[in-house]
Amino acid sequence: MEIAVTRVGQAGTRPKDEDLGFGTAFTDHMFVMDYSTDKGWHDPRIEPFAPVTLSPAAMVFHYGQAIFEGLKAYKTPEKKVQLFRARDNFDRLNRSARGLCIPEVDIDFVMDALKQLLKLEKDWIPETLGTSLYIRPFIIATDPFLGVRSSFTFKFFIILCSVGAYYAGGLAPVKIWVSKDHVRAVPGGVGEFKTAGNYAASLNAGEIAKKQGYAQVLWLDALERKYVEEVGAMNIFFVIDDELVTPNLTGSILPGITRFSVIDLAKKWGMPVSERKISMDEVLDAHASGRLKEVFGSGTAAVISPVGEICYGDRVLHIGDGNPGPVAMKFYQALTSIQYGTAKDTENWIEPVV
Amino acid sequence: MEIAVTRVGQAGTRPKDEDLGFGTAFTDHMFVMDYSTDKGWHDPRIEPFAPVTLSPAAMVFHYGQAIFEGLKAYKTPEKKVQLFRARDNFDRLNRSARGLCIPEVDIDFVMDALKQLLKLEKDWIPETLGTSLYIRPFIIATDPFLGVRSSFTFKFFIILCSVGAYYAGGLAPVKIWVSKDHVRAVPGGVGEFKTAGNYAASLNAGEIAKKQGYAQVLWLDALERKYVEEVGAMNIFFVIDDELVTPNLTGSILPGITRFSVIDLAKKWGMPVSERKISMDEVLDAHASGRLKEVFGSGTAAVISPVGEICYGDRVLHIGDGNPGPVAMKFYQALTSIQYGTAKDTENWIEPVV
């Protein structure tokens, strides 16, 4: 398929690197294509970033048939533009699509479309360490129909925004709050897919956490409410003695691409790493006996985010000395060095764009 | 607040009663109002039913912060327009709002807005038994922002469509399929709220059911996968011996307004009725011993829908003789007589409009 390109008349202005927040500085153009049962995915186009017009009966508004991905493009010191494990994101998009009855996309085609879009928008990619271009592919159901079934029409978008740190404090350790009353996802549900409703289901607990001064919710499993699952926008890692421990993927946990990258690097470095069930009781015990050395989250938005405090009922666990721990820092530096092209891509994770 | 009214230039045409399906014949006008943190709900207006324009970054597309309601307006033989338990729907909308961090609406105000809209659209309300005007109030998150938090801006809509039977077969018994692998909702989750993501999470199992010739999915509880919860678009009732049994509201079941109405009528009629856990084993046993007399669903869309067949793994239960059972028929007739104004509203369920 040929991608039609319509350019904006006047290019916008990227905020200064030091002014960048997260999720608001959208670029000039976006990629869009449409799906219908008879035509499949069709009419791919790059056009000015502009409002979308949908029937108020569009199924996405009522039944939440929507999936998304999040990935980043980075600029190297040589001003080259590169992607980090982008194909893995589109693989996961297609897994989410199957889980939500949404038609899959052709990964080679959307990779090409993304690269074409990035070439057009390369001036929107900031260069300072910690800044990048956040890429949001997403698919929404558009049939104007009231009644529960899968839609026959969809729209696929890729929108871009220049971003700084996801957490206002940057790499400073975040405080997280364990939800005992709210449950995010359940085996047999859609927790392992990146679908809109999972995030809506997390908002109430998120607000409770925020009111108490915590940045994110740490979710427990739905069945026993004992085992750690994930943090709102990140997977979670514990350093107990010298072992790295992270919850295994049970079907209700998002299979994070940064999570896989951390595990891969740990194995390469010969660091003991275990994907297994880990209960809050085990975390409390390890903390009490001084064996819990570090806790950190992993995710595309923040890359690595050290956790300095966990609140679990009336227990408050302080982890570390207020600074990022050495293990978290080692992963952060290894991952960002590859992402920003200051270290060799020994893992074949980088996809060059231009 | 004053409601501004903009009328369409040319009114549309309502399909003939016999041609009405469900969820496609939208009326000429809709009600809309906006929310912002500083202004609260503001700018209420009735305007032509028309596409809505939103940023592709609008949070509803990404994080599913969206809730809705479904209710109906009926035309009586005297051409009067009336609503059935409409305040209960707006009460539930506000409960869903609290569950999804969405600002509540003023129920008196939206009831007035709905009535004003219905007066304008009264020619869209069909008169044949089984047809009606379906009313869909809904709220969506509209901040153009990527990042998980509650939105600061929302839109509230009421859209209307003339409808016939929800199931193509009308009152003919439907076949339902018990999902063993997929789970709709979990205690601590958002299953009791009418939020978009719950329906997205049901699509995959719905497709599997449909491929096997079943109209809807019967969901089991998330924790033990033993106890009956609800059907895709309905609550479920079993007639065992002479008792009416329906699952109790555990937090993961939608508290249906038709469900409450059935229970209220049963109590009034002196029919034994029990809201309690009911396992599929109990249903199988009752069927095997001939004690399972009827199964039916209740919901706004279909009112009462007899169930003629339940598929549970390799077991297929046939219920009744292919015709609606007497208990289901009794509830259907009692409810529809009140709704269509052919019987006295002894329960104070009717809200007259015009």
Query: Predicted confidence band at B165 (pLDDT cuts at 50, 70, 90)?
Result: confident
Q: pLDDT value at position B129? A: 86
Q: Which two tokens stand for residue B6?
A: 């903009």
**Is the distance from CB of B17 to CB of B131 less than 8 angstroms?**
yes
Q: pLDDT value at position B302? A: 87
Query: Predicted confidence band at A129 (pLDDT cuts at 50, 70, 90)?
Result: confident
Q: pLDDT value at position B83? A: 98
User: Residue A285: what are its φ and ψ, rounded to 5°?
Assistant: -60, -45
N-terminal to C-terminal alpha carbon distance within chain B? 22
Contact B57 A23 (CB under 8 A): yes
Q: Choose, out of A72, A93, A203, the residue to mutate when testing the contact with B (most B CBs < 10 Å).
A: A203
Q: How large is the ipTM? A: 0.97
**Residues from chain B contacting residue A23 (CB–CB below 8 Å):** 57, 145-147
SS3 A274: strand
CA distance, residue B84 to nearest chain A CA (Å): 19
**Is the distance from CB of A296 to CB of A304 less than 8 angstroms?**
yes
**Residues from chain B contacting residue A183 (CB–CB below 8 Å):** 186-189
**Residues from chain B contacting residue A197 (CB–CB below 8 Å):** 64, 190, 195-198, 200-201
User: Residue A241: what are its φ and ψ, rounded to 5°?
Assistant: 55, -120
Q: What type of residue sits at position A240?
A: I
Contact B200 A195 (CB under 8 A): yes
Q: In A16-64, which ranges are continuous DSSP H helix?
A: 59-63
**Residues from chain A contacting residue B22 (CB–CB below 8 Å):** 146-147
Domains in chain A, ordered, with CATH? 4-164 (3.30.470.10), 174-339 (3.20.10.10)
A237, A227, A247: which is closest to A325 by C-alpha?
A: A237
Q: Choose, out of A63, A174, A252, the residue to mutate when testing the contact with B (most B CBs < 10 Å).
A: A63
B129, B153, B146, B163: which is closest to B42 by C-alpha?
A: B153
Q: How confident is the model over A28-59, as pLDDT tens digits?
A: 999 999 999 999 999 999 999 999 999 999 99
**Residues from chain B contacting residue A205 (CB–CB below 8 Å):** none
| Nearest residue of B to residue A149, measured between CA atoms | B203
Query: Predicted confidence band at B233 (pLDDT cuts at 50, 70, 90)?
Result: confident
Task: Find the mean pLDDT for residues A80-96.
Answer: 98
Contact A186 B136 (CB under 8 A): no
Q: pLDDT value at position A166? A: 76
Q: How confident is the model over B65-88, as pLDDT tens digits?
A: 999 999 999 999 999 999 999 999
Q: How many CB pairs under 8 A join A and B?
A: 222
CA distance, residue B175 to nearest chain A CA (Å): 16
**Residues from chain A contacting residue B251 (CB–CB below 8 Å):** none
Distance CA B226, CA B180 (A): 9
Q: pLDDT value at position A103? A: 98
Contact A101 B204 (CB under 8 A): yes
**Is the distance from CB of B61 to CB of B135 less than 8 angstroms?**
no
Half-sphere exposure of B143 (CA within 13 A, CB side): 18
Contact B149 A30 (CB under 8 A): no
SS3 A111: helix
CA distance, residue B203 to nearest chain A CA (Å): 6
CA distance, residue B200 to nearest chain A CA (Å): 5
Q: In B100-242, which ranges are continuous DSSP H helix?
A: 107-120, 196-200, 203-211
Contact B24 A190 (CB under 8 A): no
Contact A60 B182 (CB under 8 A): no
